[in-house]
Amino acid sequence: MKQIFMAALLLLMSIHSAMAFSAVDAFTSAPDVVLPLLPKNTRLDMIDYFNSGTSIASKNKLDGEARILSLTDKVLRFTMSEVSECQVVVLKYGKEEIIALIETLKTPIADSRISFYNSRWEPIEKSCFKEPELKTWLTKVGSKKIDDVRTALPFMLVQYEYNSEDNTLTLTSNAEQFLSREAYSGISQWLKPSLKYAWNGKKFTLVKE
């Protein structure tokens, strides 16, 4: 009887594993409104090309090149065009799994945004990540110079990068790339080069230094 029970348990576990939601599932099931340049058939071709080891690029709707750059069970990185790179990330959210879509536009300086969806690609209204304000980017000394920094740096261009090994999101400032050398040197000592956030199962929280 015990052997039958264990066999049934193993079967259920294998079925659950087979049904686990993967980054490929998320990528291929995304509605066109989320990835407007990549119809589903194009995305399927991209996966086939990647799995076969070929360097062939797929064509997006504007005739630009799109390809998968890397793929693991829970993270899929791809280009949507020559100036757009994305990460589809499947995150454990309580007893469920959700999707984080990181979109990085290179114009030519990289700037990212992140959005969150449930497994049906319905937007999640609860905040899973709060974009940092300028004061979060400032060092202890820089916090006393916030007006000077804001004058020199009216907006931030930031690149997001998710790391599946420790479930962290790193934000890297690209201020040095779009400010003049003189302007950046005047405020660089007051700015943190990057910020790290850790996923706690519900949201990304800032990792204190």
Residue from 174, 163, 201 nearest 87 by CA: 163
Q: Give CA–CA dist 43/45, Å, rounded.
A: 5
Q: What angle do CA 22, 62, 74 make, to 5 degrees?
A: 10
Q: What is the pLDDT along the chain (209 residues), one digit of tens a residue?
A: 545 444 443 444 444 444 589 999 999 999 999 999 999 999 999 999 999 999 899 999 999 999 999 999 999 999 999 999 999 999 999 999 999 999 999 988 999 999 999 999 999 988 999 999 999 999 999 999 999 999 999 999 999 999 999 999 999 999 999 899 999 999 999 999 999 999 999 999 999 87
- What is the model's pTM? 0.88
Neighbours of 128 (CB within 10 A): 16
Q: Tell me how many degrees the CA angle 155-157-163 measures, rounded to the nearest 5.
A: 140
